Chain A
């Protein structure tokens, strides 16, 4: 599926290989992962937000944006956190511009408004934040993502929204 007339998957792969991580390859799959339907009406759903914006609290360790293999770790912070109290650490986009209005990468204000307007039931207590550059995906697939999945189950998330940058 090439929508913009360029194969960005190929461009990005070659960019990462030549400048950062020579062994990089996309993990390709033949089949979709299981689709789990929403089990409650949206207006009653507990919605979780998972971001790869590199958002974190100032007193949390910043993501490692110098590592050629990327940083598979994640941070959590309360979903009631004011956006002004968060910082963005990411090497792959202009965090200075996004810091002027963090809703451009982390739409927490809009999700909180959706709760107030009864469009969704509530937000789960925590936001889970990754930094989107992870060239060595083994630690992500084997450790970080399964750990977050377990916490999302504990959070009783009815719907998980994943947002990139």
Chain B
């Protein structure tokens, strides 16, 4: 995602990406990213949780407006889930 964003940035486009893995985004350094600590495959929230999904979208829109310098902004959006994300980050299966 960051590589694609870099190319869009070089083309003069205004961009904002969402990232679930800030370590990788910090390596690739696209212009502006918003970090959200959600599991892979549930990027915007749980199935049926429209409020959290919309909150992530809103956080992206806000970040696109307020981020005046390059970097990674940490989203305050999260929902209480099980240890799925922690297991995914360690490549563990239940």
Contact = CB atoms under 8 A, between A and B. Distances in A.
Interface string A100-124: 1101110100110110000110000
Contacts of A105: 41-44
Interface string A59-99: 00000000000000000000000000000000011110110
B23 A162 contact: no
Contacts of A17: none
A34 to B, nearest CB: 5
Given A11-B89, A92-B40, A110-B57, A36 B14 contact: yes
Interface in B1-33: 1, 3-32
A27 B47 CA distance: 33
B23 A33 contact: no
Contact of B44 (A3, A37, A104, A141): A104
Contacts of A160: 5, 8, 13-16
Interface string B57-88: 11011001101111110100000000001100
A34 B6 CA distance: 8
Nearest to B54: A110
A33 B10 contact: yes
Given A4-B85, A92-B40, A110-B53, A9 B61 contact: no
Given A7-B23, A29-B6, 6 more contacts: A4-B89, A6-B89, A6-B90, A35-B9, A104-B42, A110-B54
Interface of A: 1-4, 6-9, 11-12, 15, 26-39, 42, 50, 52, 92-95, 97-98, 100-101, 103-105, 107, 110-111, 113-114, 119-120, 130, 132, 137, 140-141, 145-146, 148-150, 152-153, 157-165
